[in-house]
Structure 1
Amino acid sequence: MIEKGFSNPTQRVVRLKNQIINAKPHVESERAVLATEAYKETEGLPAILRRAKVAEKIFNNLPVTIREDELVVGAITKHPRSTEICPEFSFAWVEKEFDTMAHRLADPFVIPKETAQELHDAFLYWPGKTTSDLAEAYMSQETKDCIANSVFTVGNYFYGGVGHVSVDYGKILKIGFQGVIDEVSAASARLNRNDPEFIKKQQFYNAVMISYRAAINFAHRYADHAEALASRENNPTRRAELQQIAKNCRRVPEHGATNFWEACQSFWFIHCLLQIESSGHSISPGRFDQYMYPYLQMDTSISKEFAQELVDCCWIKLNDVNKTRDEVSAQAFAGYAVFQNLCVGGQTEDGLDATNELSYMCMEATAHVRLPQPSFSIRVWQGTPEEFLYRACEVVRLGLGVPAMYNDEVIIPALQNRGVALKDARDYCIIGCVEPQAPHRTEGWHDAAFFNVAKILDITLNNGQVNGKQLGPVTGDLTSFRNIEDFFTAFERQMSFFVRNLAEACNCVDIAHGERCPLPFLSAMVDDCIGRGKSLQEGGAIYNFTGPQAFGVADTGDSVYAIQKQVFEDGKLTLDELKSALHDNFGYPVGSNLHSVTNASISEQDVYNAVQQVMSQGGNLNADAIKNEVYRLLSSYTAQASSNPRYQEIKRILESTPCFGNDIDAVDMVARRCALVYCKEVEKYKNPRGGQFQAGIYPVSANVLFGKDVGALPDGRLAKEPLADGVSPRQGKDTLGPTAAANSVSKLDHFIASNGTLYNQKFLPSSLAGETGLRNFSGMVRSYFDRKGMHVQFNVIDRDTLIKAQKNPEQYQDLVVRVAGYSAQFVVLAKEVQDDIISRTEQHF
């Protein structure tokens, strides 16, 4: 293996990238107005036909936009990197933010006054008619109270479309939209009128044909526009490009692709139209290198350089997609996250290595474009070529937070355990953040809810109460626990109560989408909706799941172990003392943040204290462990001091407890147990589509937002501080190096968390330098996966660079970092999310 480096992007790609970086995201009104008109015109029709008419109206009338320099065309909005509104899902939050969305903490959007007026006029139709209205009507007051008190949230699908799917791009590349129309027409002709579902199936097939004919017209409108632009173009090179673009749009996606350029154009039209049909995010391209490679392989006339430029252009187009959310959700998804996960590598359905030339070209495109989308991933297994993994490590070293890496040896059996056939499990792709699914066969409802495990801990410590109100069951005062098993008995009862309400909330939203917003265009590209004659939202997929995700696992594990060790084993604290200290936030003002310090002078005494602290925890005296401890100490020095000396002592005792992330079995097994309590409770439930709930452990950036709703914890954390992200150790607590941290994470049961787990690591760039650095890095990944870790992703950047970017954002517009299950431009993140990334442990080999 040798370091190869990456070639330079073409000037076209640089210009297209700059359009994205310099864009000011806008909210646009055309889709909302068109959808509202379609709904008004179809009063009284069944929901599936109304949705087809909505798609028809939008596909036939949305403005056609071809941006300068584009080789692959098709846009959702007139402005780059902007968004349309989908009022059929929800609208009230948009109107409330007309005057504030441009200035809010996370993900601001410009809403011109005329756009706001057009949206307001459209919104007058919608009260009582949205999916969110119906979902709320189904929910019990008990479930609403759980949401109101931030135990969990279903805001993702409550306010927007479901998304979180990968469709059969390969099928459309082969037979085109006309092939789908022919297939559906034949299925309709075979219907048996004695079938009690005859009418509903016939309506579904009619809806598919209506939407697909309009989708073909959408592409033809682009052909017309490209021809018009070509007729006015003076530059002969660009004129020829526009003429070819017109030919491509005339051919695909109506018919099958015959070369690689047509395949790229067809891919993008499919993806773009899916985004237009509904507001669901995490619509993921899936295994791009598998379904696109045959068209590269057959195209003997294309140069490798032009083929690479086309792939680069697809990467740029994925960054043109954007979503707006309500202010609270925007903080949870900070960084204009769209989660279009594209993965390469892994295995074929037959269990052979799937790596091909396009797999490497996708890595090259990521290096060329250096933007947050696609959310680029690789699959790794025992048969993965060393060259492939090594090349992926070179991409990681660029500091973009990609590719995320996934372990076939865990994910394939985890999916099989959920009833997925072996060949389908081998063909898995990643959706959104980290969620595995069998592509174009699954309605996974991944990301169905955020569940705050640390909040359940907080509620358990307070006997089921939140702010003095009895929200959960009465499970005993903290001071009544005689041993750690008494705590777990109470914790499990609280978990059972709140997961039951979580399942109710998810199912209410699920039912509402099935009744009010079935999606015929999307459904026809997922098996076996055509065969079953029903939409994806009504159970048409082969595999149906609901996947809520948890966060705060490390905080919970560390807290429970601290109680076990410091109270029940070593007797350094009493439960009365602990209860009082937690109630009073260890004597600190609520809102003190020990992780916000990013720059301060370091004295010799600080270094001495750090060395003593590392030694007391049995840590290695390496520079990074000492530096992390120095920053932690500096943070505690600068926070407002507690006025109670005993509280200060209690906090020191709790913080001296060994933590998850240092390969200590006693601690790690407690964290594993806490995670399993959640996962096992979740999998008890079924959804309205006939599928099973499955747990995931990943946070997006909700660990920061929902940390504000958790009080002080027995691990020494103050109230309102951020929680640990995903399955990662708490920030700054994994002090014994990257291998020890990864070993701890691998001890969690990743097989049961089959909706995905997320592990973040941050490395200093110097640690990955040169051939040795890459060899060490790839070896660590192999070792972690051998121990049955499911996923890992990396930031390769130093603290100083992040601090400089925070202070001088205009100089770091193209700095991309890994937030959680996605990457984002660092400078567009809310400061508290930036602080959370800065505070993560900097690992070093």
Structure 2
Amino acid sequence: MKKYFDAEISKSPRIEKLVEDLFAAMPEIEADRGYLITESYKQTEGEPIITRRAKAFEHILKYIPITIRPGELIVGSASKAPRGCQVFPEFSFTWLEEEFDTIATRSADPFYISEETKNTLHEIYQYWKGKTTSELATSYMAPETKLAMEHSIFTPGNYFYNGVGHVTVSYDKILAEGFEGIIAQAEKALSSLKVSDMDYAKRQSFLDAVIKSCQAAIDYAGRYSLLALEEAKNCGDTVRKQELLVIAQNCSRVPAKGATSFYEACQSFWFIQMLLQVESSGHSISPGRFDQYMYPYYEADLKAGKLTREFAQELMDCIWVKLNDLNKVRDAASAEGFAGYSLFQNLIAGGQDRDGLDVTNDLSFMCIEASMHVALPQPSLSVRVWNGTPHEFLIKAAKLTRTGIGLPAYYNDEVIIPSLVNRGLTLGDAREYNIIGCVEPQKAGKTDGWHDAAFFNMCRPLELVFSNGVDKGIQLGPKTGDVEAMATFEEFFEAYQKQMNYMIELLVNADNSIDVAHAERCPLPFLSGMIEDCIGRGKSVQEGGAIYNFTGPQGFGIANMTDSLYAVRKLVFEEKQVTMSELKRALTVNYGKGIDSSVAEKVTKEIVSGIVKQGRKVSEAEIADIFRAALTGGVTPEEQKKFDRLLEMIAALPKYGNDISEVDEFARDVAYTYTKPLEHYKNPRGGSYQAGLYPVSANVPLGAQTGATPDGRFAYTPVADGVSPSSGKDTHGPTAAANSVAKLDHFIASNGTLFNQKFHPSALSGVRGLENFVSLIRAYFDQKGSHMQFNVVSRDTLIDAQKYPEKYKNLVVRVAGYSALFTSLSRSLQDDIIARTEQGF
């Protein structure tokens, strides 16, 4: 039996200091990139957009400030300040300018911004008015699409305001050949062109742009080589001086040429990872199968006696720290949905090769060890599991889970591989999948997956069923009939499907509009040079140059919709304990529980705005009545008794998440209302749509814009996350919850599903606790569940951390498809994590 290196290597003092320095201050917004790209764009007016992008990238890398942080062995930073971030005005900018004075004090992901930076950005933003991808995308959208977005049915804000990211490039190819290899490939393709070719102009411009971008990356590394030499000359510490000399030597070779050692491969990897972030503002640029493409360099150096496992681990730990140095600023609303300063850089270990053989190796174990050492949210570590996964590897992963940092996430090869084959991947490519961002599978170096393309709130179409398509006084959805006149549940469910289908069509319109805008205004030549077959096809990723092209928007609210529709079917149509009129009234007034005055004020403004848009004036008295009704619902004591009784009836019904076949099989049908219609649509890159069932953490802010639902959920409270049961409703233990979730069709949701569970730390204590935990994962995956992730932290600890955040600065928790520092999350998101059911074996 194969043996693995699974010794626990002590964390070096260097790593502790690097982590300490990284979090010494609030993250800062910097203006250097924004200033430089604007300067370049002004100089290249009238040139092809792909040329302008390459020249801008070259200009940025030539002049952006560089720094070597004290003690680091892997160099290259996108900002001067640790965890600082640059801005990307070519995608959008108005939101940041509007938030200049509040961004440092907002509840989710605050950033410091100096007055000097504000002034610089204000000046450069004048140039970008009318030139951004977001403005172009808006102009392409249908009016009804923009209306649906305004009413929070779905939001494509991820790519609407930012770069796309959500990709894994051919790290293995760059490590082996260097960017000189990419340049040679592009030059060969260029030499084969004929000026008489019908697409010569576009191909020639694209290939030139790839060459220019790769050369810019080589020159940028050269700047670091010179800086390291300069610092070495002035360094009095002989140990550090030698480290700087080695850094200088590494940067003089990579990423220009192929790596000849594990250390060079680590440095080359980091330049690729960081520079992809500099080119665009996309997050979820994921390292992928790090343990696979790095292993040849590690193995060769070990055999040659050039490397110790201890130093290899320290280098990996340094990379793990650097992954937390990258940062991104989002608008306030998006920050709530992605809270925790996360960049979703998913790094996965274990799994199979193209021939279906297990390829777990020493580095697979050392990836887990690195996450133990740094105890930080990035990388978002994942592990692949199948029936050939070594038991000791899963035990090692379980030990990391037991630390409570929410890592790793677990993925099932037995579901993901066939689901990707069903989407058109070859079996070999599917077997080599990695995870992007939260939970999204793809083949590295060949895929433009557009994962995370939008958040679709499955609860909102149900609200439209009860209102006959009207929302806040506006006819938003189709007229599906008076709900009180519906005679059967089938008629009611059909109305829900009609509302869903209409809104899905608008979501596709939004995503495709944004897709086209990115292709026209922000093609990415540097990224495209590392994705097949952009060079061969002579076009960027954004224009369809990748082998595999998808768009993957995600739906969420499965648990709420299952329990809600089941309640309607049972209480109204089958048992006739409640009339539809009574249920509709209860939902309208939030079961008589009232709402917060600030929420009532917001709702009032939206209702009044809707009335005004229809051309009718609203008096002050009417506004006061609307506010009063929104605040209290105008509920009488007699009505309140009825509502309380209704809530008791709802609570007594079976719930999704308790291994009850009738409910769980219904959940499968409910999920199909989102997953099946979506797969019939195409995107502008020639690819298809594929559904995901996960919310990142948008279930909290979008839940705050959603009325009461028939499952007893109160208005403006969080919607259930991912495919997990609603918080507190899975009362029969973790195995029952897993059995329920496994009954969903995870194969059709090929953009990923997300299943959260929370355990008390005692559940994983000792050898028996670890074995029970691994058995739970195996059992869930045997039933064809796709993904599992865990929080192992007590409710009491989380509540105490809310009260005394200064005591828990290093408390990392699992949020959604990512981990984050608990104290960096908004209060509403913290509450949502606390409310999750705490399981035990």
* TM value normalised by structure 1: 0.93
- Which residue type is aligned with residue 395 of structure 2? Y
Counterpart of 1:543, as a letter, is: Y
- Counterpart amino acid of 1:305? E
Write the distance in 1 (CA, Å) between the matches of 2:597 and 2:116: 42
Question: Deviations 1:179-200 (Å, cap 9, x if unpaired)?
Answer: 1111110110011333211111
Equivalent runs, 1:278-289 vs 2, <5 Å: 278-289=280-291
SS state of the match for residue 125, structure 1?
Answer: helix
> What's 2:776 paired with?
780
Taking the TM superposition and a 5 Å limit, the aligned residue runs for 1:334-733 are: 334-591=339-596, 644-733=640-729
SS in 1 for 2:325: coil
**Cα separation, 2, equivalents of 1:2 and 1:201:** 48
1:760 aligns with 2:751: no
Q: Relative to structure 1, is the Cα distance of residues 478 and 592 closer, same or farther in structure 2, using a 3 angstrom cutoff?
A: farther
Q: 1:78 to 1:3 in 2, by over 3 A?
A: closer
Partner residue of 1:796 out of 789, 792, 795: 792
Q: How does 1:86-165 map to 2 (within 5 A)?
A: 86-165=88-167
Task: Note the 1:198-209 alignment, pairs <5 A.
Answer: 198-209=200-211
Identity of aligned residues (%): 57
Conserved in 1, the CA contact under 8 Å of 2:104 and 2:112? yes
The one-character-per-residue Cα deviations of 1:443-480 (angstroms, maximum 9, x if unpaired) are 00000000000111221222111123210001012212
The residue type paired with residue 799 of structure 1 is R
Deviation string for 1:471-530 (max 9, x for gaps)? 000101221222221111101111111001000000000000000100000000001101
Task: Kindly indicate whether the alpha-carbon contact (under 8 Å) linking 1:557 and 1:674 is maintained by their aligned counterparts in 2.
Answer: yes
Aligned-pair CA distance for 1:337: 1.3
Specify the alignment match of 1:630 in structure 2: none
SS in 1 for 2:757: strand
> What secondary structure does 2:455 align onto?
strand
Aligned partners of 1:697 and 1:821: how far apart in 2?
11
The reply to whether residue 48 of structure 1 matches residue 35 of structure 2 is no
Structure 1 residues 642 and 132: CA distance shift in structure 2, 3 A: farther
Give the TM-score, by structure 2 length: 0.94
Determine the structure 2 residue equivalent to 1:597: none
C-alpha RMSD over aligned residues: 1.5
> Could you tell me how far 1:826 is from its partner in structure 2?
0.1
**CA distance, structure 1, for counterparts of residue 313 and residue 202 of structure 2:** 45
1:398-433 deviations in whole A, cap 9, x for unaligned?
111010000000000000110011100000000001
Secondary structure at the counterpart of residue 762 of structure 1: strand
Query: 2 CA distance for matches of 1:298 and 1:99?
Result: 54
Flag the 1:408–1:568 CA change in 2: closer, same or farther, 3 A: same
SS of corresponding position for 2:172: helix
| Cross-structure match for 2:178 | 176
Q: Is the 8 A contact 1:455 1:709 kept in 2?
A: no
Structure 2 CA distance for aligned equivalents of residues 740 and 334 of structure 1: 30
1:3 positional shift: 14
Give the letter for the 1:806 counterpart: Q
Distance 1:499 1:642, change over 3 A: farther
Question: How far did residue 8 of structure 1 move?
Answer: 3.1
Look up the SS of the partner of 1:28 in the other structure. Answer: coil
Amino acid at match of 2:709: L
User: Structure 1 pair 755/642, CA: closer, same or farther in 2 (3 Å)?
Assistant: farther
1:809 corresponds to: 805
Tell me which residue corresponds to 1:611. Answer: none
Mapped to 2, the partners of 1:60 and 1:675 lie a distance apart of 50
8 Å CA contact 2:6–2:362 kept in 1: the answer is no
Contact 2:433 2:444 in 1 (8 A): yes
Using a 3 Å threshold, how does the CA distance of structure 1 residues 581 and 519 change in structure 2: closer, same or farther?
Answer: same
- Structure 2: state its 5+ residue gaps: 599-635
SS of alignment partner, residue 704 of structure 1: coil
Question: Which residue in the other structure is 1:607 paired with?
Answer: none
1:2: Cα distance to partner?
14
1:612 is matched with none
Q: Is the 8 A contact 2:470 2:476 kept in 1?
A: yes
For 2:824 and 2:233, locate their aligned partners in 1 and report how far apart those are by CA, in whole Å: 40
Question: What displacement does 1:385 show?
Answer: 0.8
SS at match of 2:700: helix
Deviation (angstroms), 1:212: 1.0
User: What SS is found at the alignment partner of 2:550?
Assistant: strand
* SS, match of residue 726 in structure 1: coil
**Residue identity opposite 2:776 in structure 1:** M
1:62 alignment partner AA: I
Q: Aligned partner of 1:345: which letter?
A: G
Mean Cα displacement is larger for which, 573-582 or 250-259? Answer: 573-582
CA drift at 1:744: 0.5
Q: Is the 8 A contact 1:9 1:368 kept in 2?
A: yes
Please identify, of 188-197 and 503-512, the stretch whose mean Cα deviation from structure 2 is larger.
188-197
Distance in 2 between residues matched to 1:507 and 1:591, nearest whole Å: 37
Secondary structure (helix, strand or coil) at the match of 2:517 reads helix
After superposition, the C-alpha distances for 1:602-642 in whole angstroms (9 at most, x for unaligned) are xxxxxxxxxxxxxxxxxxxxxxxxxxxxxxxxxxxxxx999
Q: What's the CA shift for 1:22?
A: 2.3
Whether 1:274 and 2:276 are equivalent positions in the alignment is: yes
Distance in 2, matches of 1:501 and 1:643, equals 38
1:298 equivalent in structure 2: 300
1:487–1:758: structure 2 CA closer, same or farther, 3 Å change rule? same
Which segments of 5 or more consecutive residues in structure 1 lack a partner in the other structure? 594-639
3-state SS of paired residue (2:233) = helix
**1:353, 1:384 within 8 Å by CA — same for their partners in 2?**
yes
CA offset digits 1:736-786 (Å, max 9, x no partner): 000000000001110000000000000011011011111110001000000
SS in 2 for 1:93: helix
8 Å contact from structure 2 (residues 9, 310) kept in 1 = no
Q: Which moved more, 1:383-392 or 1:732-741?
A: 383-392
- d(CA) in 2 for partners of 1:841, 1:592: 29
Note if 1:769 corresponds to 2:771: no
